[in-house]
Amino acid sequence: MDDRQLQLWVEQISLSSFGCPFLHRARFNRRLRSTGGRYFTRTHDIEISWLQYEQFGAADVEKIIKHELCHYHLHLLGGGYRHRDDDFKRLLAKVGGTRYCRSLPQELKRTEPYRYKLVCTSCSAEYMRKRKTDPKKYVCGFCKGKLKLLALDLQPHS
């Protein structure tokens, strides 16, 4: 399946399940790993995880498409389109969409190594981080002490 076929599929699901046309762009995104799809509120486009389609097939992806179309139609109609909104939950149940997609196998998930460590200057508690964090914006969760940022050495030792 390619993006053109996905576009036609999304348009067909929109008409049959929602009774309204899908007038924007749908495409696969091969980088999505932690989510089944995305709806963009600015462009109204939808992206679907290629890995979800590859791993779990058309039936699961159809539920993901319905989920994203709930965001799409509710947003355009001015309804509650966020996950926590009752409008969203009701429409999702009505059309048979899924609230959560299935988790990908571990070998398909990219896990970044920890690159930083925040250390409390009072109680020495440690917080591992993958991204650089400004220690001035946070305090220790145990003692409310100041934090110090340390970069971890990621070079393999020989």
Residues 46-78: tens digit of each pLDDT: 999 999 999 999 999 999 999 999 999 999 999
pTM confidence score: 0.73
Q: What angle do CA 103, 105, 29 make, to 5 degrees?
A: 70
Give strand pairing partners of 117.
Answer: 128, 150
Strand, coil or helix: 118: strand
Per-residue pLDDT tens digits for 115-139: 999 999 999 999 999 999 999 999 9
Q: Are 6 and 69 in contact (CB under 8 A)?
A: no
In this structure, the strands spanning 147-151 and 116-120 are antiparallel
Catalytic residue among 47, 54, 62, 68: 68
Q: Name the band, by pLDDT with cuts 50, 70 and 90, for residue 155.
A: low
Is the pLDDT higher at 45 or at 34?
45
112 is catalytic: no
Instruction: Find out whether 91 and 74 touch, Cβ atoms under 8 Å.
Output: yes
- Give the closest residue to 150 by CA, choosing from 122, 119, 125: 119
Report the range of poorest mean pLDDT among 11-15, 91-95, 113-117: 113-117
